[in-house]
Structure 1
């Protein structure tokens, strides 16, 4: 029996190569990186910081290494903050939290719509972010609402699972039996969370496969999810192997992206750190502490955004490959006719060369 998850790897690699390098277009790469940036993804690079040194003999932290201009800036900032009334501070905090909440909602909606933009770009081999975004705004909203509902359900389940912990802690039973109950409940909760992660991962897989079905069969997202589930019941063996294969493939891709990204980002961090240090010594001679550190903090924020975008550029080819792999699998498993830019190219199925259209014709 042929397993589609393996059969379509070569096709996904070929489509990725053609899409990204034939011809190589730096504008296309930047557009795709922007799409991947909004979508997010599992990749990411965390750089740990070093803690400051402490003089344990004195009993207080040694802050002599901090520039005087920075401590002056913090003192000035603290003085200005202390002059605000409590009501003003409360209003400012509430407005700030509302702003963050609004930004999260907007970015979440944009990211959900960009899922459709990415698929359309890969299928057509033509990245038109604005045009595709306008085209799929409605479907993007449906996807975003669905994901928010699933997130709320997940949070609700976790909250309900936390109630026994709260109850046990409130009982204040510090004896051996109480500790054993808490430890046992902790491990049971970990098991339940793992099961939930698998269940929600499966639901997420159905949703991802439903996106192109909704696009190219002109159906609603929920209807497309129902169609995927119906096909799952008809051919569940392929999808089970698909999930296992995707986990292995995802880990492999993540390791590759992580190694490349770590090398590039470390080099960029060293370069940016050197530039920031040079700017500090130069500007420290001509600017006051408040202006200097306000400027440097603004520069650092911009640099963090640049590093995030560079991370998206690094992840982008791997995201493209994984999406092409999913689309290629869907063509064979679901037998959907996606208007792929290379639909007449041969595809290897079970060791033989067939076109996608031929591979999707059921055997007599």
Structure 2
């Protein structure tokens, strides 16, 4: 039995080229925006894990005695003085994180639908996939919550069993004694999180898009297919890791080159501005500092655009590869029947498969 994970690599390259070539600036720019949002695989809500520390990182060790005279010197005093403002800031931060998270999950469907239809209509696809995006966001939040619960449960169990539930019993020797078990545990949790996220992105999202199934129903259908085709899915997993590493290396090299190329004109302009400001005696002035700030912002925006453009063909290749493998393993789940037919017809000079022997 052929391994589709091997056979479909070339087809994924052909599908990517047929979608992105000939080059169309408008299409690539739209896809760059989409890829920017999905770059973290739904990572827009990862910031939720850090929001709880907002505003509390730099408290002095003396309980707040470094406040100037007349200012509150206790936590209760700070909350009484600034509580409303802190809650407003935290609420705004959470709102921004959730909005970005929702956009990230919606853009997953926009990207996949663009690959399937080979047309890019960002606003239309966003409207059509609001429900899918919300369901995916809830699933990912639940998955993250489950991982956090496992970690908290593990830490609490270790604290009770190894240290008797007493902070005073925690020693360096005790920590090093449980370190191997902790490493294994976190590797298992990380592997679980990574596999669930990766298979959701590569298989479940296309299944949701091309059928009426939700996240859980798609996962149930996928698990059934995996039980019947263990060898094929394991082969995909192995080759997808290798391809992802290769794509990451290519992206890093191109990203470094892009950073240098994008930085050159900004550095030259900054050098001219610096020499000119010294020549006219404005060095360190507000106008010069504002100009440098604008240049830094423009540089960052330009670099984000260029790196997103670099990611467009790389991410398209990985998604096409996964969807082609899925369709070859389990034909009823195929999200790319038209793309598959077109690229495989092109493999033959006359556009038709060769006649069978004896015909």
Provide the TM-score with structure 1 as the length reference.
0.75
Cα deviation for residue 259 of structure 1 reads 1.1
Aligned to 2:330: 334
Relative distance call for 1:269 and 1:159 in structure 2 (3 A) is farther
Aligned to 1:72: none
Cα deviation for residue 10 of structure 1 reads 0.7
Please, which moves more after superposition, 289-298 or 123-132? 289-298
Q: Does 1:123 align with 2:120?
A: no
Cα deviation for residue 155 of structure 1 reads 2.2
Q: Does 1:325 align with 2:321?
A: yes
Relative distance call for 1:266 and 1:97 in structure 2 (3 A) is farther
Aligned to 2:151: 158
Relative distance call for 1:309 and 1:340 in structure 2 (3 A) is farther
Aligned-pair Cα RMSD in Å: 3.3
Q: Secondary structure at the match of 1:218?
A: coil
CA offset digits 1:283-307 (Å, max 9, x no partner): 6755974554355334423432332
Aligned to 2:10: 10
CA offset digits 1:34-87 (Å, max 9, x no partner): 100011147xxxxxxxxxxxxxxxxxxxxxxxxxxxxxxxxxxxxxxx999777
Tell me if the contact between 1:231 and 1:334 (Cα under 8 Å) persists in the aligned partners: yes
5 Å-filtered alignment, 1:1-364, equals 1-21=1-21, 23-41=22-40, 92-163=85-156, 168=163, 171-172=167-168, 178-208=171-201, 209-282=203-276, 285=281, 289-290=285-286, 292-335=288-331, 336-345=333-342, 347=344
Distance 1:91 1:233 in 2: 54
Distance 1:292 1:93 in 2: 34
Provide the TM-score with structure 2 as the length reference.
0.76
Tell me if the contact between 1:206 and 1:229 (Cα under 8 Å) persists in the aligned partners: no
Cα deviation for residue 193 of structure 1 reads 0.9
CA offset digits 1:124-168 (Å, max 9, x no partner): 111111111111111011101111111122223223333467675
Tell me if the contact between 1:37 and 1:312 (Cα under 8 Å) persists in the aligned partners: yes
Please, which moves more after superposition, 247-256 or 279-288? 279-288
Cα deviation for residue 253 of structure 1 reads 1.2
Distance 2:301 2:180 in 1: 39
Cα deviation for residue 234 of structure 1 reads 1.5
CA offset digits 1:249-295 (Å, max 9, x no partner): 11111111111111211332343233334335546755974554355
Distance 1:315 1:223 in 2: 30
Cα deviation for residue 202 of structure 1 reads 2.0
Tell me if the contact between 1:206 and 1:228 (Cα under 8 Å) persists in the aligned partners: no
Tell me if the contact between 1:116 and 1:211 (Cα under 8 Å) persists in the aligned partners: yes
Q: Secondary structure at the match of 1:126?
A: coil
Q: How many residues of Structure 1 are paired with residues of Structure 2 in the alignment? A: 311
Cα deviation for residue 4 of structure 1 reads 0.9
Q: Secondary structure at the match of 1:345?
A: helix
Distance 2:89 2:296 in 1: 20
Q: Where does structure 2 lack aligned partners over 5 or more consecutive residues?
A: 42-67, 73-77, 352-359
Relative distance call for 1:98 and 1:277 in structure 2 (3 A) is farther
Please, which moves more after superposition, 134-143 or 278-287? 278-287
Q: Where does structure 1 lack aligned partners over 5 or more consecutive residues?
A: 43-81, 356-364
CA offset digits 1:216-269 (Å, max 9, x no partner): 122222211110011111111111111111111111111111111112113323
